[in-house]
Structure 1
């Protein structure tokens, strides 16, 4: 496991490619996330094992908003919420064309999508792949806002931690647009 910071990412271009092949902890505009290439079934399975989360769907961070319109069902209602991105929101949308590994959301009917308002998002854009975004904790455990509260078992099994100091956020607000009426859940 290697801890890296913003300056190292900026000056070591190969790190972006390394992250694409790895499981990593990273900062967002809310809390720290646990991520990997969302199109890689094996890496997603490793995150499920780390979190002990086998039935819950994972959300993803997409490298550009166009993916929403290409792969998800959208309308005027959803566009209003898509326009709020980037920000501390997870939009739940109906999938019209599969674009992630099948174990991201076993039902495949919906997908949670984020675009964080944080400097690290620039590196997800450079990866050009969707990235798993789930809280960096065991299911039901405290979420990570500082390296000292990262579960030691998770810390041992990730390849990288992109560290940005203490974060003051809360988990993202979930906006479910897959139902007839919009549901908003603050966490």
Structure 2
């Protein structure tokens, strides 16, 4: 299967409200349409995770990120311009997303991906894609496809073929919370 066919299948699955497993710029992720509350609820169920713990969304560009936050503070752009590893920013004023994806304080965790597969997936889907680690809550994140449990594989609607043979260390993104007042808090290095 070509990468283009793989992405087409994943996009089609998400457009129908399905849940996918896919390689990201960090670890393997469980994903869905970030605007579909039912699909988001399925991911919480698959991960056996409390829905009060917000999940990350991937986007393909600065412009797409701006569609999901009322006002992106300048410090966010400055930070994203200087980081050298995948970095998720938590921003206040989330909009245009499934309500069960938005934290109780109204914030959302977003990451602009530069990894070729996940970037193309987000671009072709034309919306934010949920990106939470492919594991049961509390278990180690799946760095590679071979690390994903059978329970997770069986629970999703489509498993991407791209990068399945890869065997190299991957780590979750850094997470930084940025307040509208300019406050910067490092959540995960």
Q: TM-score range by the shorter chain?
A: 0.7 to 0.9
2:29 maps to what in 1? Answer: 33
Distance 1:12 1:49, change over 3 A: closer
Show CA shifts across 1:59-93 (max 9, x none). Answer: 11124311333442223212202335795111011
Describe the SS at the equivalent of 1:56. coil
Of 148, 151, 173 in structure 2, the residue corresponding to residue 150 of structure 1 is 148
In structure 2, distance between residues paired with 1:85 and 1:153: 35
Show CA shifts across 1:30-77 (max 9, x none). Answer: 111110001111111100000111220111112431133344222321
Taking the TM superposition and a 5 Å limit, the aligned residue runs for 1:1-187 are 7-11=1-5, 14-15=8-9, 16-21=11-16, 22-54=18-50, 55-72=52-69, 73-84=71-82, 87-95=85-93, 98-107=95-104, 109-120=106-117, 121-162=119-160, 163-164=162-163, 165-178=166-179, 180-187=182-189
In structure 2, distance between residues paired with 1:30 and 1:82: 16
Q: CA RMSD in A?
A: 2.3
Normalising by structure 2, report the TM-score.
0.84
Q: Return 5+ residue gaps in structure 2 as ranges.
A: none
Q: Return 5+ residue gaps in structure 1 as ranges.
A: 1-6
In structure 1, distance between residues paired with 2:98 and 2:169: 31
Question: In the alignment, is the contact (CA less than 8 A) between 1:87 and 1:115 conserved in 2?
Answer: no
Question: In the alignment, is the contact (CA less than 8 A) between 2:20 and 2:31 conserved in 1?
Answer: yes
Report the count of equivalent residues: 180
Normalising by structure 1, report the TM-score.
0.85
Show CA shifts across 1:82-113 (max 9, x none). Answer: 33579511101111x52111111252610000
